[in-house]
Amino acid sequence: MDVSQFIGVMLAAMFAATFGSMLGLGGGVFLVPLLTLFFDIDPRIAVGASAVCVVTNSVVGSSVHIRSGFTNLRLSMLLQVTTAVGAIIGALIALRVDASAISLVLGLVLLYSAASMLRQRRLSPPPPDDDDPDPFGLRASFRDPATKQDVVYQPVRVKPGLAISGGAGVLSGMLGIGGGAIQVPLMNLMMKVPVKAAAGTSSFMVGMTAVATAAVFYSHDEIDPTIVVPAMIGIFSGAKLGSQITRRVQTQRLVLVFVIVIAYLGVSMVLDAFGIGF
């Protein structure tokens, strides 16, 4: 690898990590196409590098999100149980199911989520009453630096949320994606978790999910240090920048960026299901 490619991979990873950390995604959805299209890197090597980068992005970004109080650690552990089980099931049945049908379903789900988040972006869930029951002990709060106000919230519909999170894990395992694009709308739209808390919680979760993916690629000798090392340098600055933007940006603007990104992913998955490249 020459110096220009080293710097190019580093900048691509920085871009992917900024958006990934800001929105609670891993960043792999941006990094893999950048590596394959602009640097002519083999797709499997790009996905292997991306898995290590998603872990790195999660580690760096989550340390900021956790300190900001955006990450609900109890919620992340609870949802991770069904997500991780779902991911194992998804990986085991991946070869027996038509991937294009799954891409179509996931694409439509993402487009529906984008439309719902756009419609509800101005609505914020009312703070819970002190007397509201909290059977799962998930009530949490954080101070939003953008508005300088404390935000108290309590995730609702936890049992259906766990079931859907498991379904999201199955899709993640089948399609080899991190799952942040599903988890953030799930937490925000269904469980009424504020977007910043959903992004912070998801950012932590995608790191745990990507560890298993990275292990698969490691066992198949498909992690290339000549790609991973410059990418990790870029990830460090991008993840810090992304998580700082999440802290300062107005929630409605964050939702707008998220909607654009998941709408893009939704359209590309639907087109992919019909064999049309995007």
Partner 1 sequence: MSSDRTMRTIDGERLRELAARVLETGFRVAVAIMAVGLILAVIRQEALPSTLEQPADIADGILQGDPEAIVGLGIISIILTPFASTLVIAAAFYRQGNRRYAAISGLVLAILLVSIGLSLV
d(CA 221, CA 48): 9
Identify whether the C-beta of residue 62 lies closer than 8 Å to the C-beta of residue 204.
yes
Residue from the set 11, 189, 216, 249 that interacts with partner 1 by CB under 8 A: 216
Cα→Cα distances 87→24, 61, 164, 226, Å: 18, 23, 12, 29
The least CB distance from residue 101 to partner 1, in Å, is: 24
- Select 66 or 182, whichever has its Cβ closest to partner 1: 66
Burial state string for 92-121 with b = 16 or more CB within 10 A and e = fewer than 16? eeeeeeeeeebbbebbebbbebbeebeeeb
Is there binding between residue 77 and partner 1 (CB under 8 A)?
yes
Among 17, 31, 47, 52, binds partner 1 (CB under 8 A): 52
Based on CB atoms, which residue is closest to partner 1, 75 or 195?
Answer: 75
Cβ atoms 193, 255 nearer than 8 A: no
Instruction: Provide the 3-class DSSP secondary structure of residue 258.
Output: helix
User: DSSP assignment, residue 120?
Assistant: T
Residues in the interface with partner 1 (CB under 8 A) total 46
Give least dist CB 71 to partner 1, A: 8
The beta strand positions in 207-251, using DSSP E, are none
**Closest CB to partner 1 among 91 and 114?**
91
Binding region for partner 1 (CB under 8 A) out of 102-110, 160-168, 180-188, 225-233: 225-233
* Closer by beta carbon to partner 1, 51 or else 261: 51
- How many CA atoms are closer than 13 Å to the CA of 33, on its beta-carbon side? 9
The residue among 55 and 117 lying less far from partner 1, judged by its C-beta, is 55
Closer to partner 1 at the Cβ: 117 or 171? 171
Compute the distance between CA of residue 214 and CA of residue 207 in angstroms, rounded to an integer: 10
12 binds partner 1 (CB under 8 A): no
Q: Tell me whether residue 56 or residue 103 sits nearer to partner 1 (CB atom).
A: 56
Regarding 91 and contact with partner 1 (CB under 8 A), the answer is: yes
**Residue 84 CB, nearest approach to partner 1 (Å):** 4
Which residue among 177, 179, 224, 238 contacts partner 1 (CB under 8 A)?
A: 224
The helix/strand count (H/E) of the chain reads as 10, 2
CA distance 171 to 88: 10
Residues at the contact surface with partner 1, assessed by CB under 8 A: 1, 52, 55-56, 58-60, 62-64, 66-67, 69, 71, 73-74, 77-78, 80-81, 84-85, 87-88, 91-92, 137, 207-208, 211-212, 214-216, 218-219, 221-226, 228-229, 232, 236
